[in-house]
Amino acid sequence: MAEAFALHDLRWRKKMDTSGFTSGESREFFTALLDSGGCRRQALALGLYLGERLVAFQYGFLFGKRALLYKSAHDDLLDIYAPGKMIKREFIRRCLGMGVETVDLGVGYEEYKEEWTDESDSIWHLSFPQGNFPSCLYFFFHSLKGRLRDRIKRNRKIVLFKRNTLGLLRYRLSIEQAKEAFRRKRELIRRHGIFQSLLSPALCRKPVEFICRDMPRSLPMAVCGIRKAALEDAEEIALVMNCLPVDVVKRFYRQQRCFLAGEDRAISCLAWVSAGKNGTLISDFCTDKQFCREEDIVSLLHSIMADLPEKDLTGIRILVSQQSAAPIRAALQKEFPLAISEEEKTAGRRKGRVGSAGLNHT
């Protein structure tokens, strides 16, 4: 449960959480419920893992033929894959397999509740006033509070404003956010320099294009560690590309492939590979200016081309950011002397020269 509590804190750090699910006493209480058995009420916890990392969990209860989905959380970075809905569906499926007839999704507004709910019930406190004035007055305000709370929890705008807007505002003003922003900015400055790290990532990505044709099938072996990237590499890739981790996850979701060069999980350069209209496109070829070596770039190119089908070697476009253009151009010109960029080709035509975009490596 320690991983689940940590994931819940991560999920709700930018939101307003009033449940107290991860407070000290609550942690002990909900952990103990999982270990208790032989009673009518049974606590269940289900986790969804990416490799060895917990990315979503669902905590709930069984009461005879009824199940209650109590608390859940997932990694916001993987929102596009909907891990929260995945774990809830699996939790419900397993409950139904245990003979459950009714699944209680709990109170409060959530979009999935609107989609999955067959019927809804109002939940009220059971109170018996004694009949005297103080007791009746207390009962009146107590029931009024219950009605107002129920109305508020069913109002989508109020729930989202409190949970997301106020929660994000509180997080933005917290010391935790300041430390995280400082750590990320310091890492970006180390990798890209002060000027590049202060600019918007979009301003740093004006591409320089290289055209490569008729690539040979036989290529030298890579001299450094090359591997295909996975979702676990999203945060490190984002630092090299000077973008947000969620943007990297979206590219994986669109089934783009990413190749990495480096040793011991440290990335010296990377490139994304996809099928374009006019052949294979190698885009966002990025380098870490502090660690990247020329042989890393060459090895990465050779590994990518060795992974491509024969038919895709007849036309390859390489798009690199201006920040990484110089070392990549140097590596291409050394390894493939006939490589030419679109900028150079256009300039040559203006001067009346005919430039060859072919790349014949023998």
Q: Where are the domains of the chain?
A: 2-168, 201-350
Measured on CA atoms in the order 85, 88, 92, 98, is the torsion positive or negative? Answer: positive
pLDDT for res 351: 42
pLDDT for res 262: 79
Q: Which two tokens stand for residue 301?
A: 């190119």
**Among 292, 294, 317, 291, CA closest to 304:** 317
Distance CA 192, CA 269 (A): 13
Q: Which two tokens stand for residue 278?
A: 């006019």
**pLDDT above 90 as % of the chain:** 8
- Max mean pLDDT among 31-45, 248-262, 337-351 falls in 248-262
Give the residue with greater pLDDT, 232 vs 343: 232
CA 96 vs CA 44, 79, 320: distances in Å: 13, 26, 52
User: Which of 89-98, 141-150, 192-201, 263-272 shows the lowest per-residue confidence on average (mean pLDDT)?
Assistant: 192-201
**Cα torsion through 199, 204, 205, 206, rounded to 10:** 120
What mean pLDDT is predicted for residues 121-143? 67
Distance CA 157, CA 295 (A): 55
Q: 201-350: CATH homologous superfamily? A: Gcn5-related N-acetyltransferase (GNAT) (3.40.630.30)
pLDDT for res 212: 63
**pLDDT above 70 as % of the chain:** 71
Average pLDDT for the chain: 75
Sequence-distant (≥ 6) Cβ neighbours of residue 148 within 8 angstroms:
none
What mean pLDDT is predicted for residues 48-60? 91
What mean pLDDT is predicted for residues 149-174? 75
Give the residue with greater pLDDT, 267 vs 347: 267
What mean pLDDT is predicted for residues 103-125? 73
What mean pLDDT is predicted for residues 272-300? 77
**Among 343, 257, 336, 342, CA closest to 298:** 336
pLDDT for res 40: 64
What's the pTM? 0.63
What is the 3-class SS of the chain, one letter each residue? CHHHHHHHHHHHCCCCCCCCCCCHHHHHHHHHHHHCCCCCEEEEEEEEEECCEEEEEEEEEEECCEEEEEEEEECHHHHHHCHHHHHHHHHHHHHHHCCCCEEECCCCCCHHHHHHCCCCCCCCCCCCCCCCHHHHHHHHHHHHHHHHHHHHHHCHHHHHHHHHHHHHHHHHCCHHHHHHHHHHHHHHHHHHHHHHHHCCHHHHCCEEEEEEECCCCCCCCCCCCEEECCHHHHHHHHHHHCCCHHHHHHHHHCCCEEEEECCCCCCCEEEEEEEECCEEEEEEEEECCCCCCHHHHHHHHHHHHHHCCHHHHHEEEEEEEHHHHHHHHHHHHHHCCCCEEHHHHHHHHHCCCCCCCCCCCC
pLDDT for res 125: 52
What mean pLDDT is predicted for residues 135-143? 77
Same fold, 2-168 and 201-350: yes
Distance CA 208, CA 330 (A): 13
Give the residue with greater pLDDT, 349 vs 114: 114
User: Which of 85-89, 121-125, 179-183, 290-294 shows the lowest per-residue confidence on average (mean pLDDT)?
Assistant: 121-125
Place of tokens 């809804």: 120
2-168 in CATH: which number?
A: 3.40.630.30
What mean pLDDT is predicted for residues 88-97? 92
**Among 204, 190, 202, CA closest to 325:** 204
286 has pLDDT over 60? yes
Distance CA 211, CA 319 (A): 9
User: Which of 284-288, 310-314, 358-362 shows the lowest per-residue confidence on average (mean pLDDT)?
Assistant: 358-362
- Please state the length of the chain: 362
46 pairs with which residues across the strands? 58
357 has pLDDT over 50? no
Distance CA 193, CA 171 (A): 28
Q: Which two tokens stand for residue 67?
A: 């199940």
131 has pLDDT over 70? no
317-356: pLDDT as tens digits: 777 776 677 777 777 777 665 555 554 444 444 444 333 3
Place of tokens 């459950």: 100
